[in-house]
């Protein structure tokens, strides 16, 4: 599944939202641990008891982040600066990340 989302902010702000545990806890999971470097580990926990683990496959700050989920899924996040702000291309094998990102984009647009 591939989706494209445009955020009305610069790429470095989108990168922070994708990699900073405090910001991830605002829009994606309830409790997040993430080392956003290649080979880094991530743990995402939700209040319903769900827990997902990820390994960072690629990390180019402000440009690209690739996570490999331990349950056989991946998400590739590619950032591109555009006139409107930042275009984020999301390629993933499970739709949870892009659905949450679209909600985050909506919140930013109406903030």
Asked if 59 and 38 count as a contact pair (C-beta separation under 8 A), the reply is: yes
Task: Write the DSSP string, 22-51.
Answer: HHHHHHT-SEEEE--STT-EEEEE-TTS-E
pLDDT digits (tens, 9 = 90+) for 102-111: 767 766 665 5
Instruction: Give me the mean pLDDT over the 21-36 stretch.
Output: 94
Q: Per CATH, is 2-109 categorized as 3.30.530.20? A: yes
pLDDT digits (tens, 9 = 90+) for 51-81: 999 999 999 999 999 999 987 789 999 999 9
Tell me the pLDDT of the chain averaged across its residues: 89
* Domain-wise residue ranges, the chain: 2-109
Please state the pTM of the whole predicted model: 0.84
């Amino acid at each position: 599944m591939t989706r494209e989302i445009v955020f009305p902010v610069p790429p470095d702000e989108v990168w922070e939202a994708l990699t900073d545990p405090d910001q991830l806890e605002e829009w994606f999971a309830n409790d997040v641990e993430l080392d956003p470097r290649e080979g880094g580990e991530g743990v995402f926990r939700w209040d319903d008891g769900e827990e997902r683990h990820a390994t960072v496959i690629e990390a180019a700050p402000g440009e690209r982040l690739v996570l490999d989920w331990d349950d056989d899924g991946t998400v590739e996040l590619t950032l591109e600066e555009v006139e409107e702000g930042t275009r984020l291309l999301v390629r993933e094998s499970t739709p949870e990340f892009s659905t949450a990102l679209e909600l985050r984009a909506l919140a930013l647009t109406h903030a």
